[in-house]
């Protein structure tokens, strides 16, 4: 794989503008390869040393009818010369590969922003499908933006003609032509992309050559247009400088890969093998896909017949002495709920990853939301407490997964790790951590009869019961979902025993609070007029909004909570040091309610449930209002 050393000195032309950050959105039909274009442009941004955040936004349909409004797939990237926290509010540049892509995306474009459209696709049929009565490229309706359009389809066909591809195959190279143009626009090196194409199409060199030709043609189009080639439309060019970054090795990472690697890392630190039981569901499947390739790391993956079997098999594996892990999205987690209760009752370690998506029911499978917090914290029959952790960004999932494994194995409990569709799919630059800097937390299986006799539900000082592998002589015992007697684990329904066991289960999970870091203020001061409290993937927009507000001199701080349950012991006191607390969430106010319940504070909600992440200005406005 390409490893490029970032060069800090800019060898770009001095005469092109050097903006602080640029937001580009590539939008096209689902079949146009926009996610691929975006992914490779992201790589190129990384190699150019920019900080960045991305937002892939694609339809739930695999092959939506061509040219339709609901079949539009988009990829947004915000790249900059300083710290980037979000994929950006409004694009500066919109690449629209057809009328539907223009229609569904242009309203987000900044006033004065640049539209690049493939006029070859603006034919009568596609215009009708996008419900345009007249061609928007010609009727002046796009007047508040800069508009350039040319026939990308035809230019691509011309470029790949020598390779003898069929029409359909030739047109597939359009996305590489577009990428080539984008690389020229932002003064980027083509070489890593060319190498990537050669690797990708290693088995079909003709396709590799055609795609490379399209890439080069797109790039050349920009160049020749600049020197005033007649007939070519001039395109503005920009260079975004490298962002200052800590020295070290970096890579791009999305949340799904970070979860897979973090779980492997956690299991290594714990000294246990991993068993992953999963069932395909968007957007959680990619964790299963990633782990299925990690065989040499002691990972067994099992694609079960359903969500219930996925978690039940993981529980079985935990019982047998490996760490059981399962992953899903809201509807799948709902199906797993009874089994989560079994894991709580049998006090077995288990990690459950929920890549949240828009709900309820099937909801918005490919869109992001944070609406499974109640489900995670409260959503089971009986008094069934378990720890909940939420990751704030793709890279953060790695550390959160390790933390989930630590808590699960040290406290003999299922742990829910919340990510979401945005985190799972979005990519960010990630400084590869030094694994030797992580402190191991080895598990110890009980392998002999301890003094005083073996008690399957005896406790250590953390209230955790012993983990015994079947196969161990002398420690035969039975467990199950039916209420267990204190210490012995025998069947026992007596009132006093149920009270005692309920108290123990609650006490054990509550006690975890003493073994997690104290809550910090990630930006601002420990007290003041306003705290914006977030959890999960709202971290980026909140952080940026608070940074901007503080730059304006406003008294506002950002508190980001990773440990949703139990919460850090100092959180209540910390929140009381602020006059006001607002809680932005992509749900109708779930964490706000938990905070109110736990601390009797007047936390105010800021809610967005549109399947789209917060925009920075939405939070800035809420800060303004709260401080007014």
Partner 1 sequence: MNDMTPIQKSSPKDWETDQEVRWCPGCGDYAILKAVQRTMPELGRKPEDTVFISGIGCSSRFPYYMETYGFHTIHGRAPAVATGVKLANPDLDVWIITGDGDALSIGGNHTMHLLRRNLDCQILLFNNEIYGLTKGQYSPTSRVGTKSPSTPFGSVDRPATPCAFALGSGARFVARGFDVSKHLPDVLKAAHAHKGAAFVEIFQNCIVYNKDVFEDFAAPKGAEARQLWLQDGQPMLFDDGNKGIAMDMDTLTLKVVDVANGDWQSAGVIVHNVKNRALAHMLVEMPFGEFPMALGVLYDDPRPTYDSAVVEQNAKLSEGKTPDLQALISKGQTWTVD
Which parts of 262-321 interact with partner 1 (CB under 8 A)? 264-265, 268, 273, 275, 277, 294-298, 300, 302, 304-306, 308-310, 312-321
Task: List phi, psi (to 5°) of 461.
Answer: -70, -10
In the bound state with partner 1, the residue whose beta carbon lies nearer, of 121 and 307, is 307
Compute the distance between CA of residue 371 and CA of residue 13 in angstroms, rounded to an integer. Answer: 48
| Contacts of partner 1 in 25-44 (CB under 8 A) | 43
Q: Is the dihedral of CA 256, 464, 478, 336 positive or negative?
A: negative
In the bound state with partner 1, the residue whose beta carbon lies nearer, of 308 and 500, is 308
Question: Does 179 engage in binding with partner 1 (CB under 8 A)?
Answer: no
Shortest distance in whole angstroms from residue 490 CB to partner 1? 7
In the bound state with partner 1, the residue whose beta carbon lies nearer, of 194 and 217, is 194
| Contacts of partner 1 in 434-493 (CB under 8 A) | 434-436, 469-482, 490-491
In the bound state with partner 1, the residue whose beta carbon lies nearer, of 433 and 527, is 433
- 122 CB-contact burial (10 Å; exposed 0-12 / middle 13-18 / buried 19+): buried
Compute the distance between CA of residue 61 and CA of residue 479 in angstroms, rounded to an integer. Answer: 44
Question: Does 128 engage in binding with partner 1 (CB under 8 A)?
Answer: no
One symbol per residue from 184 to 203: x for binding partner 1 (CB under 8 A), - otherwise; what is it?
A: --------x-----------
Shortest distance in whole angstroms from residue 430 CB to partner 1? 9
| Contacts of partner 1 in 333-362 (CB under 8 A) | 338-339, 341-342, 346
| Contacts of partner 1 in 524-583 (CB under 8 A) | none
Q: Compute how many residues bind partner 1; rule: CB under 8 A.
A: 80
Beta strands at 563-565 and 388-390: parallel, antiparallel or unpaired:
antiparallel
Residue in 609, 388, 414, 417 with CA at minimum distance from that of residue 513: 388
Copy the structure tokens of residue 625: 């209002």
In the bound state with partner 1, the residue whose beta carbon lies nearer, of 133 and 434, is 434
Residue in 419, 482, 430 with CA at minimum distance from that of residue 253: 430
- 385 CB-contact burial (10 Å; exposed 0-12 / middle 13-18 / buried 19+): buried
Judged by CB under 8 A, the stretch of 90-98, 260-268, 581-589, 595-603 that binds partner 1 is 260-268
Q: Which helix (H) or strand (E) segment is 459 a member of? A: none
In the bound state with partner 1, the residue whose beta carbon lies nearer, of 299 and 533, is 299
Shortest distance in whole angstroms from residue 190 CB to partner 1? 15
Question: Does 10 engage in binding with partner 1 (CB under 8 A)?
Answer: no
Which residue is it, tokens 């420690």?
475
In the bound state with partner 1, the residue whose beta carbon lies nearer, of 483 and 526, is 483
Question: Does 52 engage in binding with partner 1 (CB under 8 A)?
Answer: no
Q: For partner 1, which residue of 234, 249, 449, 600 counts as binding (CB under 8 A)? A: 249
How are strands ordered across the β-sheet holding 528-534? 556-560, 528-534, 578-585, 603-607
Question: Does 235 engage in binding with partner 1 (CB under 8 A)?
Answer: no
The backbone region for 567, taken as left when phi is positive above 0, alpha when psi lies in -120 to 50, beta otherwise, is: beta
| Contacts of partner 1 in 583-612 (CB under 8 A) | none
Residue in 406, 427, 362, 618 with CA at minimum distance from that of residue 517: 406
Shortest distance in whole angstroms from residue 395 CB to partner 1? 11
Shortest distance in whole angstroms from residue 303 CB to partner 1? 10
Shortest distance in whole angstroms from residue 417 CB to partner 1? 18
- Cα 110 to the chain's mean position, in Å? 25
| Contacts of partner 1 in 355-414 (CB under 8 A) | 398
| DSSP string computed for 317-343 | HHHHTSEEEEEE-HHHHHHHHHHHHHH
Which residue is it, tokens 């900080």?
51
In the bound state with partner 1, the residue whose beta carbon lies nearer, of 251 and 550, is 251
């Amino acid at each position: 794989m390409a490893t490029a050393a970032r060069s800090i000195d800019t060898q770009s032309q001095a005469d092109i503008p050097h903006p602080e950050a640029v937001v580009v959105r590539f939008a096209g039909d689902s079949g146009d390869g926009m996610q691929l274009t975006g992914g490779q442009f992201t790589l190129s941004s990384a190699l150019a040393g920019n900080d960045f955040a991305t937002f892939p936004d694609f339809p739930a349909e695999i092959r939506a009818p061509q040219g339709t409004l609901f079949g539009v797939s988009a990829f947004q990237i915000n790249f900059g010369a300083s710290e980037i926290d979000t994929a950006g509010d409004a694009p500066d540049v919109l690449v629209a590969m057809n009328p539907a892509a223009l229609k569904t995306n242009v309203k987000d474009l900044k006033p004065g922003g640049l539209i690049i459209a493939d006029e070859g696709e603006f034919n009568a049929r596609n215009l009708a499908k996008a419900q345009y009565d007249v061609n928007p490229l010609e009727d002046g309706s796009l007047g508040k933006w800069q508009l350039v359009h040319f026939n990308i389809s035809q230019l691509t066909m011309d470029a790949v003609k020598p390779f003898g591809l069929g029409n359909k195959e030739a047109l597939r190279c359009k996305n590489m032509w577009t990428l080539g143009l984008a690389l020229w626009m932002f003064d980027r090196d083509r070489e890593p992309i060319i190498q990537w194409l050669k690797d990708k199409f290693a088995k079909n060199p003709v396709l590799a050559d055609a795609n490379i030709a399209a890439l080069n043609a797109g790039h050349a189009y920009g160049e020749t247009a600049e020197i005033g080639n007649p007939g070519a439309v001039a395109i503005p060019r920009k260079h975004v400088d490298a962002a200052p970054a800590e020295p070290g090795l970096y890579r791009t990472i999305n949340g799904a890969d970070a979860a897979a690697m973090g779980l492997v890392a956690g299991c290594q630190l714990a000294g246990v093998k991993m068993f992953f039981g999963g069932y395909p569901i968007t957007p959680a499947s990619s964790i299963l896909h990633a782990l299925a390739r990690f065989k040499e790391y002691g990972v067994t993956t099992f694609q079960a017949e359903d969500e219930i079997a996925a978690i039940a098999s993981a529980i079985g594996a935990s019982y047998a002495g490996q760490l059981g892990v399962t992953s899903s999205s809201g509807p799948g987690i709902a199906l797993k709920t009874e089994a989560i209760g079994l894991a709580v009752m049998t006090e077995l370690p288990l990690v459950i990853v929920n890549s949240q998506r828009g709900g309820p029911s099937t909801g918005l499978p490919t869109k992001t939301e944070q609406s499974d917090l109640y489900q995670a914290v409260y959503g089971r029959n009986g008094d069934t407490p378990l720890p909940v952790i939420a990751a704030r960004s793709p890279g953060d999932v790695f550390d959160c997964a390790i933390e989930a494994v630590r808590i699960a194995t040290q406290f003999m409990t299922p742990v829910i790790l919340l990510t979401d569709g945005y985190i799972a799919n979005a990519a960010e630059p990630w400084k590869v951590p030094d694994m030797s800097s992580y402190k191991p937390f080895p598990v110890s299986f009980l392998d002999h009869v301890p003094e005083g006799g073996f008690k399957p539900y005896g406790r250590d000082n953390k209230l955790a019961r012993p983990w015994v592998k079947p196969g161990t002589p002398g420690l035969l015992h039975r467990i199950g979902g039916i209420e267990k007697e204190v210490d012995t684990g025998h069947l026992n329904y007596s009132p006093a025993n149920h009270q005692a066991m309920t108290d123990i289960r609650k006490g054990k999970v509550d006690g975890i609070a003493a073994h997690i870091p104290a809550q910090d203020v990630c930006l601002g001061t420990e007290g003041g007029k306003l705290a914006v409290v977030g959890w999960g993937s709202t971290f980026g927009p909140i952080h940026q909004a608070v940074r901007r507000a503080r730059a304006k001199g406003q008294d506002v701080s950002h508190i980001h909570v990773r440990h949703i349950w139990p919460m850090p012991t100092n959180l209540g006191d910390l929140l009381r040091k602020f006059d006001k607390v607002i809680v932005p969430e992509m749900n109708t106010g779930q964490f706000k309610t938990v905070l109110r319940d736990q601390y009797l504070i007047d936390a105010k909600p800021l809610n967005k449930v549109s399947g789209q992440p917060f925009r920075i200005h939405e939070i800035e406005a809420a800060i303004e209002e709260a401080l007014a």
